[in-house]
Structure 1
Amino acid sequence: MTNYIDYLESLSKKQLMVMLARQRQDETQGIAVVGLGCRLPGGIDDPRSLWTTLREGRVVPTESAGPPTDSLGRARWNLDAPDLAPIADVLRSGAYLNDVDLFDADYFGITEQEAERMDPQQRLLLEVTVQALADANLTRADLRRQRVGIFIGASTVEYPIAWVRNRVPADDLSPHMALGNTLSATSGRIGFMLGVNGPAMTIETSSSSALTAMHLAAQALRRRECDVALVGACQLLLSPFTTAVLGKPGMLSSAGRSRPFTTEADGHVRGEGCGILVVKRHSDAVADGDLPYALLRGSAVHSHGDRPSMAVTAGAGQKTVIELALRSAGVEPLDVQYVEAQANGSRLGGIIEAESLAEAYERRSPTAPPLYLGSCKANLGYLETASGAVGLMKTVLALAHGEVPPQVGTENLDPGVAWDRTGLRFADKPTAWPSDGRRLAGVSSFGFTGINAHVILEGVPGRRRPEAAPTAPGVPALLVLSAHNDAALAATADRLHRHLDQRAEWDHHTVCRTLAHGRDHLPVRSAAVVTGRSELLDALAAGPVERAPRADIHVELPELDDSRLRAVLTTSLGPGFEPLAARLRGCAEAMGLPALDGLLTDGQALPEGTWLAWAMGWCELLTAVGLRVSGGLFGGRYRHVLSDVVAGRTATTEVAARWQAGALGAVPPRPGAADVTVTGNVWVLGAAATAEAVPVPLAELDAAGWLHLVGEQYAAGAEIVFTELSARAGQALCRLPGPVLTGRRYWPEGYQWS
């Protein structure tokens, strides 16, 4: 401490002011919400469908909905079973998800044995995370270059309760049950799946879990403990007994509906779902060219111990946490125009919350600026642990659209609140945001264990900037699609077609650039060159094009004592490879390489010292067009060099310096680019020509032909450097749906509530 004080004394007043200003900026800078993913009741599986549901005032049917069903059409619980029949009535109402037995284990590289023993909440979180990252146009390669924080809210693990109830024998115990049914794995498994480094934690503060997770994520981002954070929560109701337990003290609605702030409010209806938000520092979002939904300005978490009972949220505690959040955001109470309330359907809780909001936000007078209230629990039910994530998503969507969605049930407001003596208001239809200046909103979440959380959000200034001018029709672009299996590829193409058919504002270049830069490129691939929006839609409607089979090549390159090379390259180039073979021969001729015609002669004479360059040239040429080398035999002092080349790995220290200048499988240079050369058998773009440089024989290709060549390489499995095609920096990407995951049933009979 003494040394630090001495250091501060050595600074001038101006230096101290600059240092403090930077520190303040780091501590208070906005946190941008750049991606959303969800799976919610009512078939809501993306941000767009969530916003449509809220804006149109739809209500998910929950009264006597009956138990949810699995992919076989079977009810999750047999309500006629002797131990369930007494609680059947309370189980018939709920906002449930169907088909939670399905999971795409192959996409995540998870074995069948492990998938069966994993808590379905973990499975759901993995799949929704994939969609949220796609919405943010972040790939695994992007994330692995940064520190990624994972902050997930989760509560009771109910999956193995049926296993215990059914008295499954001990012989059926599996080591996968350990990681499959622990809360810490809900966050840890996401980090493992993505292969990322950074803080990861599971938060359990009941209903305030998601907002508490957001509070912790914002702190980690501002302290630069991570550069990107995944924040969210999940809840599945897999045991019927927890619902029965909550019904005993009268917490659940007898009518099977959540009706907050109304005369009919008599408790809540339980719901299921999952929501994930992708967040980063606003300065980084600007630098990356993102267009965030909204910014987090401040947050707070507070537990108020002085209350009548543990399950009662005191008004004083609610007021305190709001005041702390406002102070954190540097925002005045009267500047906030909307609050997404906790309001789960309890009448007493609604009265206490309305009074606390009027007090904390200084709306104790009807002449005060209006403060609009809302609660999406009236639309979707009360998702308990996951409810805060949905409240956050609703509010950032409202800020992004500049609109307050209608609140269901405002015709019969609870007379226990003196609404006419406050500035609290409800929107009965989609309402333009009540401010032409800063758009500010709060989100409340109160855990029934007494842990309260509140966040302050702001609309992004200038978010509604005009889109980039559309590319003129006729200019070619490369449409690339990929998936982990053929069925998923076809389904992804169909999903994109349906989505784009309703989004006419996105031109074909923006869509193609988004798919190239903002998606993981998986093994099963398809590519097409399109010159306009109609061609783009036609290509998606036609489905993935049939891919030519990949050629297998076996290479033998032993070095002989007499310095002569005996080389054999056996290929299986089929009928679909004639154009590719012709192009290879042309490239080889320009590079001074013997032509590839099935079998090269034994003991071919080459000048001393040139055979390595010949071998390297062919290996790179074959790899660049996506041909798979099935094996090889190498001898002499170059065996490590050549084996690394054939395997597609970066050269080791034994590799000649010229091989360290580029990467195998790089995109061939664009036709017409200045100084397009191949130097030392490595593709070079914009390098000065040298005596050793050999021009690439692509002059006869136009832009579309060149893109067809790149598309062939992509479909064959080559790793394409898409920044050579079009730089992302400064170019807007659009929001497209993520990959389709093709689930299959993972639910052993021992886990079935028969």
Structure 2
Amino acid sequence: MARKMDRTQQMAVTCVADALQDAGLTPEKLKGKRVGVILGNSMGGDTTDRYAERVGLPRSVSCLEEAVTSLDLNESVKKDLVAKFRSRYLENLPEITEDSLPGELANIISGRVANVFNLEGPNFTVDAACASSMAAAMNAVVALREGSIDYAVTGGVDAAMHASSFIKFCKIGALSPDGSRPFDESANGFVMGEGAGIMILKRVSDALRDGDRIYGTIVEIGSSSDGRGKGITAPNAAGQERAVRACLSASRIDPGSIGLIEAHGTSTPVGDKTELTVLDRLFREAGIPRASVGIGSVKSQIGHLKAAAGAAGMIKAILSLHHRTLPPTANVKRPNPCIDWDSSPLFLLTEARPWEVDNGSFRRAGASAFGFGGTNFHVIVQEHALGLRLVAGKKKAQAIVEFRPPDWPRPPEMQIQGDAWVIGGTDSGNLLSKVEKLLNDLTPENAAMLAARCRQETGPFDIRCGFAAQDSESTAKKLSLIRDGLIDPAKQAIFPTRGIHVSQGAPSKAQGGIAFLFPGQGSQYPFMLRDLAERFPVVAQTFQEADEILASLGLPTVTSSVFLVDGNNGEAARRQADAMKDTQLLQPMILTANAAIFRLLSSMGVRPVACAGHSLGEYAACVAAGVFTFRDAVEAVAVRGREMARVSIADPGLMMSLPA
């Protein structure tokens, strides 16, 4: 069946698999969940054109037979000529079977994904020409907001690279003969590309509850139509401006907070001029200072992905927020003179630069996607910062409630699976030998022992690799990837996406190192570190050492304070959490937890070059830095907590917490 799937369907399935893996989701975890699949595509793929060629064979043969009748050839030669033509014509064309129709239809792309991964929410394919994938994302956002789905697999895919696509785009003067140069004075058209961009969307509240990694958040998506424009395929300034203003109006944010525009930027003379003029006028009217908003287009690097172009732009913008970097646009030598760059709020990003913002401000970006038929979309995305939230149309933010862990109340027993692996070698060959030996020796029973042995090796090593693996099976997969990458260094390009990290040579001072920041009061909860204490002896030993010190002072032990003894139900956990706020118990408890984690990391070879602490965490930082011993620190905070608990004040006051 896979062989009958058009490349658009194959690419969609492959990229969705990668996106789900990156999000830590599996078909098993999503079974029975409300997962919508909403993807953008416009022209299908090349398979439709190739089937059309096959269907056109009888007419071609008929034309050939008519042509050869006028030739002075005997009948056998004529028949032989037609037979050879038929055979050669069909040589590389796919056979049409019962699987051909579902394998080529653009509207089945989303259904194919839902089928392969057993996703049971709504699925449909959106066609808005080159804005299809952003239109798909808008539909996904609407469904999430109205509560009809809880997850959205969205984006777009386009593999329409048949000769007919090139010919048709050439006929309207859209293709460049020599390269894609959005916003350059010499821009003369785009370069067609193919690809897929897939995003996994959830409501922010759900993502926080589930402890997900959040690359960024969608503030709003605006859309418009050109109406009766200059032409059905011509860019329309009024329509584009309506989409951007609709997005800004619905989001109710200050245009001055936008630091990046990922433009549609097709590199066509008319398209670039129209888009730059609209954005320049809009930001000028908003009073934005000169050179405040960086602008670029990913089409300068990967070409125009057509139906998937909007997803590519959104992903670039979101990753820019995540990495806090303003990314460059390529191939600009002389900026398009259609606007006055010296006074414009816009500036061209010709090189990457750190994305700096004022304290307490969000990084925000806008991205546009426009399509034939006069369809326009603009999205505003912003970085995710825990504790900061968008407040629109209000003078004061709502108070942020006390933080509870995502799985509150915590279960008394939590299983930690997997190990951290750090493998060193004197050179690449030596490391390869070690990896091959580990692959040979690895079993489910000895995986933890082998991981610990590798972590304890001190070198000296010129090359190291590290990764985390849940079980022996995933360990073997990652070791195999490392082996293949050491044999063929080109394959190391996928290491970061698989959670594999390689370092070679001694680190330079410019690279810096790891800093440990130890938290203070407020970070405690029942069963804190119980899972680690049961798995790693060094953690359990630290708690035992603290218990002995506190017992000698006639104070309650840490273990009895942290590890719940009054039942295992949720109400008992809440009572325990309230009791843990007693500063006499809390201070040695926080110190012990901090020291235990520090010792655990140290046992794995992770050592900081600097230590700092917040409030009570400063004591743990001093222990880590060797300023004083763990015993001295426990005695100090225990006596400190006891004396603070004796203080009685009629008005205890209030504390305001401001997230930074």
TM bracket (short chain): 0.5 to 0.7
Give the Cα–Cα distance (whole angstroms) in 2 for the partners of residues 190 and 139 of structure 1.
13
Question: Counterpart in 1 of 2:111?
Answer: 188
Matches within 5 A, 1:501-516: none
Question: Counterpart in 2 of 1:427?
Answer: 349
C-alpha displacement of 1:116:
2.0
Q: Partner of 1:443: helix, strand, or coil?
A: strand
Question: Counterpart in 2 of 1:359?
Answer: 281
Matches within 5 A, 1:168-567: 172-255=95-178, 257-362=179-284, 367-368=289-290, 370-436=292-358, 437-462=361-386, 478-479=417-418, 528-529=447-448, 531-532=451-452, 534-535=454-455, 543=476
The alpha-carbon distance between structure 1 residues 145 and 412, as it changes in their structure 2 partners (threshold 3 A), is same
The superposition leaves residues 657-698 of structure 1 with CA deviations (integer Å, 9 ceiling, x where unpaired) of: xxxxxxxxxxxx99999xxxxxxxxxxxx999xxxxxxxxxx
Matched-pair contact (CA < 8 Å) for 1:153–1:202: yes
Give the Cα–Cα distance (whole angstroms) in 2 for the partners of residues 295 and 542 of structure 1.
33
CA RMSD, 1 decimal: 3.8
Give the Cα–Cα distance (whole angstroms) in 2 for the partners of residues 463 and 376 of structure 1.
31
C-alpha displacement of 1:377:
0.8
C-alpha displacement of 1:237:
3.0
Question: Counterpart in 2 of 1:138?
Answer: 25
The superposition leaves residues 470-508 of structure 1 with CA deviations (integer Å, 9 ceiling, x where unpaired) of: xxxxxx975499xxxxxxxxxxx9xx999xx99xxxxxx
- Is residue 2:50 matched to residue 1:162? yes
Matched-pair contact (CA < 8 Å) for 2:327–2:353: yes
Question: Counterpart in 1 of 2:635?
Answer: none
The alpha-carbon distance between structure 1 residues 451 and 544, as it changes in their structure 2 partners (threshold 3 A), is closer
The alpha-carbon distance between structure 1 residues 370 and 206, as it changes in their structure 2 partners (threshold 3 A), is same
- Is residue 2:6 matched to residue 1:119? yes
Matched-pair contact (CA < 8 Å) for 2:32–2:120: no
**Residue 237 of structure 1 aligns to which amino acid in structure 2?**
A
C-alpha displacement of 1:222:
0.7
- Is residue 2:129 matched to residue 1:129? no
C-alpha displacement of 1:117:
1.6
C-alpha displacement of 1:195:
1.4
Matched-pair contact (CA < 8 Å) for 1:400–1:463: no
The number of equivalent residue pairs is: 394
Decide which structure has greater helix share: 2
Give the Cα–Cα distance (whole angstroms) in 2 for the partners of residues 687 and 364 of structure 1.
58
C-alpha displacement of 1:421:
3.0
The superposition leaves residues 720-744 of structure 1 with CA deviations (integer Å, 9 ceiling, x where unpaired) of: xxxxxxxxxxxxxxxxxxxxxxxxx
Give the Cα–Cα distance (whole angstroms) in 1 for the partners of residues 99 and 474 of structure 2.
41
C-alpha displacement of 1:416:
2.4
**Residue 529 of structure 1 aligns to which amino acid in structure 2?**
A
**Residue 396 of structure 1 aligns to which amino acid in structure 2?**
I
Matched-pair contact (CA < 8 Å) for 1:363–1:424: no
C-alpha displacement of 1:131:
0.5
The alpha-carbon distance between structure 1 residues 533 and 218, as it changes in their structure 2 partners (threshold 3 A), is farther
Q: Which structure 1 residue ranges, 5 or more long, are not aligned? A: 1-113, 469-475, 482-492, 503-523, 547-668, 674-685, 689-754
Q: Partner of 1:398: helix, strand, or coil?
A: helix
TM-score by length of 2: 0.54
Give the Cα–Cα distance (whole angstroms) in 2 for the partners of residues 390 and 687 of structure 1.
48
Give the Cα–Cα distance (whole angstroms) in 1 for the partners of residues 209 and 6 of structure 2.
38
Matched-pair contact (CA < 8 Å) for 2:229–2:236: yes
Matched-pair contact (CA < 8 Å) for 2:283–2:345: no
**Residue 155 of structure 2 aligns to which amino acid in structure 1?**
G
The superposition leaves residues 627-664 of structure 1 with CA deviations (integer Å, 9 ceiling, x where unpaired) of: xxxxxxxxxxxxxxxxxxxxxxxxxxxxxxxxxxxxxx
Question: Counterpart in 2 of 1:149?
Answer: 36
Matched-pair contact (CA < 8 Å) for 1:365–1:422: no
The superposition leaves residues 557-586 of structure 1 with CA deviations (integer Å, 9 ceiling, x where unpaired) of: xxxxxxxxxxxxxxxxxxxxxxxxxxxxxx
Give the Cα–Cα distance (whole angstroms) in 1 for the partners of residues 167 and 387 of structure 2.
46
Matched-pair contact (CA < 8 Å) for 1:153–1:210: yes
Q: Partner of 2:185: helix, strand, or coil?
A: coil
**Residue 184 of structure 1 aligns to which amino acid in structure 2?**
N
Give the Cα–Cα distance (whole angstroms) in 2 for the partners of residues 225 and 350 of structure 1.
38
**Residue 152 of structure 1 aligns to which amino acid in structure 2?**
L
C-alpha displacement of 1:335:
2.0
Matched-pair contact (CA < 8 Å) for 1:372–1:425: yes
Q: Partner of 1:411: helix, strand, or coil?
A: coil
C-alpha displacement of 1:371:
1.2
The alpha-carbon distance between structure 1 residues 452 and 132, as it changes in their structure 2 partners (threshold 3 A), is same
Give the Cα–Cα distance (whole angstroms) in 2 for the partners of residues 127 and 176 of structure 1.
20
Give the Cα–Cα distance (whole angstroms) in 1 for the partners of residues 329 and 151 of structure 2.
33
C-alpha displacement of 1:183:
1.7
C-alpha displacement of 1:407:
2.2
Give the Cα–Cα distance (whole angstroms) in 2 for the partners of residues 191 and 325 of structure 1.
30
TM-score by length of 1: 0.48
C-alpha displacement of 1:537:
5.9
Give the Cα–Cα distance (whole angstroms) in 1 for the partners of residues 146 and 475 of structure 2.
49
Matches within 5 A, 1:56-95: none
Matched-pair contact (CA < 8 Å) for 1:365–1:421: no
The superposition leaves residues 367-400 of structure 1 with CA deviations (integer Å, 9 ceiling, x where unpaired) of: 3561111101111111111111111111100000
Give the Cα–Cα distance (whole angstroms) in 2 for the partners of residues 176 and 187 of structure 1.
17
The superposition leaves residues 235-283 of structure 1 with CA deviations (integer Å, 9 ceiling, x where unpaired) of: 113421211111122110021x110110120000100111100010000
Give the Cα–Cα distance (whole angstroms) in 2 for the partners of residues 448 and 194 of structure 1.
32
